[in-house]
Structure 1
Amino acid sequence: MSDAKEKLLDAALSHVPFDGWSDETFNAAIRDTGLAPGLARGLCPRGAVDLAIAYHKRGDRQMVERLAQTDLSALRFRDRIATAVRFRLEAVEDREIVRRGMTLFALPQYGPDGARLLWETADLIWRALGDGSDDINWYTKRATLSGVYSATVLYWLGDDSEDHAATWDFLDRRIGDVMKFEQFKANMRANPGLMRLLKGPLDVLGRIRAPKPHDDMPGSWRQ
C-alpha cells in the first residue's frame, strides 16, 4: 500500500465508528490528510469501500507478521490455528470498525468483496502454518476455516467477557467440531467397502488441483 493510501486509511479510522465506511468518511479523510481529491480517488476509485478492503488486508499482514515472530512448534495443530485466528482478531483496534465493515460487505454489491477477503484470510493462515496441500483439500481447508473465522468474528463482536475469554472458548469449540469432521473423514478412508463405493466420485475429485501462483483461474483440472 502506498504511503498516501496508508495516511488516508489512518485518517478514515477515526470517522468510521460514527459514519461507517461511507462517502462522508472518505471525504473527511481527504480533508484531514490534505490530499488532493483527484489523487485520493485515484488511489481509491470506490472511495471508502477500497479503504475498508485496505484495512482488512492490513490486519491480515499484521497477523502474518506476528505468526512469523512466534514459535508455535510446541502447540498442537488445532492450537496453532486458534492462535492464528486470535492474532487476527487482536490486530483490530476498535471492534466498531469491524462491525461497520461487516455491514458494508453484507450489501449485495459488496458481498463478493467480503467473501474474497474472508477466503484470503483463511488462505493466509493456512499458508503461514505451512499447508502444502494441492488437491481438493486445499479448497476444503480454506472453506472450513472461513466458516470458523466468520462465526468467531460474529461472536467476538458481541463478547463482553474479560479479555474476550468467551470468544476463545467459542473458537476452541468450533475447531473441535472441525477436528471431529476430519476424524470422520479418516474413518471413511479406513473403510474399504465404502471407498470402493465412492471410487467414481473420488476419482473425479482427485483431479482437482489448487490454483497456481499468478494463475488467472481459481483452480485447475488435471487431464
Structure 2
Amino acid sequence: MHADPAREALLDAALPHVAFDGWSHATFRAAIRDSRMEEARARALCPRGALDLAVAFHERGDRRMLEALRAMPLAEMKVREKVTRAVRARIEAIEDVEAVRRGTTFFALPNNAPIGTRLIWGTADAIWDALGDTSRDGNWYTKRATLAGVYGSTVLYWLGDGSMDHEDTWAFLDRRIEDVMRIEKAKAQIDANPVLRTVFAGPRWVMSRVRPPMRVPRVDLPGHVAGANDAALGEDPSRGS
C-alpha cells in the first residue's frame, strides 16, 4: 500500500479545510494553494479532485493500522482477539474525526458510494490478510463481508460516542464480534452434525467451489482506485469533487 509523498502533502494541506468545506472542490483548491503545488501537478496526482484526497485519507488510515498490527504479538492471540484488536487499531489510526464524519456523507452520495464500499471492503481485506487468513473458497468472501459490516457500523457508533476513552464504542465492537462468532459457531455445529451436514451438502459444495479473485499487482498511478469502472462514476476531473 504505497503512499505518494506529493499526494500526502496535498492531503495534509486539505485536512484543515475539510471540517468547514467537506471533501469538496473548495477544499481541493485550498489544498493546492496551501501546499504551493502547481495546479497541473495536483490534478495529475488527483484527477478526481477531493475524491482522490478522500481515498488517500482512508488508505492512510489502513497503512497506520497495519503498522500497529505489525507491532502486536498476534501469534499469541485467539482469532476473536485478533479481529477485535485490528478493528480497534483501524479506528484509533484515524487522525481527524471531522474528516471521517464528512467522509461518511461524501461517500453516501450516489456517485461516490461504490468507491466508499470498496474502501471499507479493502480495509476488511487488509485486516484478514494481516491476520494470516488462508481461506481460498467462499469463506474468503463471507469473512470480508462480515468484517466490513462490523467495521462500518462500529465507525458510525464511534462518531457519536461521547463516553470516556470511547468505552461504549469498544463495548459495541465486542458485541458485534460476538455476533460474528455466533455465525462461526453455527457453521461448526453444521459441520459436526451428520443430519445438518447432509441437508446443507448442496450449498456447502457450491461454496467450496467459489474462489477469491486473483491478486493483481497494484499499480499506484495517480488517482487510481482498484476497480475498472471508476471512470464511469460520474466524476468530472476538471471540477474536482
Shorter-chain TM-score category? over 0.9
Q: Is the counterpart of residue 56 in structure 1 residue 82 in structure 2?
A: no
Q: 1:206 is paired with a residue of what secondary structure?
A: helix
Note closer, same or farther for the CA distance 1:65–1:215 as it changes in structure 2 (3 Å cut): closer
Deviation string 1:99-154 (CA, Å, 9 cap, x unpaired) is 10111100010000000000000000011111111110000000000010011001
The runs of at least 4 aligned residues of structure 1 exceeding 4 Å deviation read: none
Query: Which of these residues, 64, 89, 92, is aligned with residue 87 of structure 1?
Result: 89
TM-score w.r.t. the length of structure 1 is 0.94
User: 2:163 maps to which residue?
Assistant: 161
Once the two structures are TM-superposed, the CA of residue 3 in structure 1 deviates from its matched residue by: 1.8
Give the distance between the partners of 2:179 and 2:199, measured in 1 at CA: 26
Higher relative contact order (CA 8 A, sep 6+): 2
Give the drift of 1:184: 0.9
CA–CA distance in 2 between the matches of 1:77 and 1:57? Answer: 24
Residue in 1 that maps onto 2:24 = 22
Partner of 2:191: 189
What code does the residue aligned with 1:28 have? A
| Alignment partner, residue 43 of structure 1 | 45
Residue ranges of structure 2 left out of the alignment (5+ in a row): 219-226, 228-241
Cα distance in 2, alignment partners of residues 26 and 134 from structure 1: 41
RMSD of Structure 2 on Structure 1 (CA): 1.5
Q: Tell me what 1:130 maps to.
A: 132
Matched length: 217
Shift of 1:215: 8.1
- The percent of aligned pairs where both chains have the same amino acid is 58
TM-score normalized with structure 2 length: 0.87
CA distance in 1, matches of 2:179, 2:190: 17
Query: Deviation of residue 35 (structure 1)?
Result: 0.8
Q: Aligned to 1:73, what secondary structure does the other structure show?
A: helix
Which string of whole-angstrom CA distances, capped at 9 and with x for unpartnered residues, describes residues 169-199 of structure 1? 1000110111011111111111212222222
Amino acid paired to 2:4: S
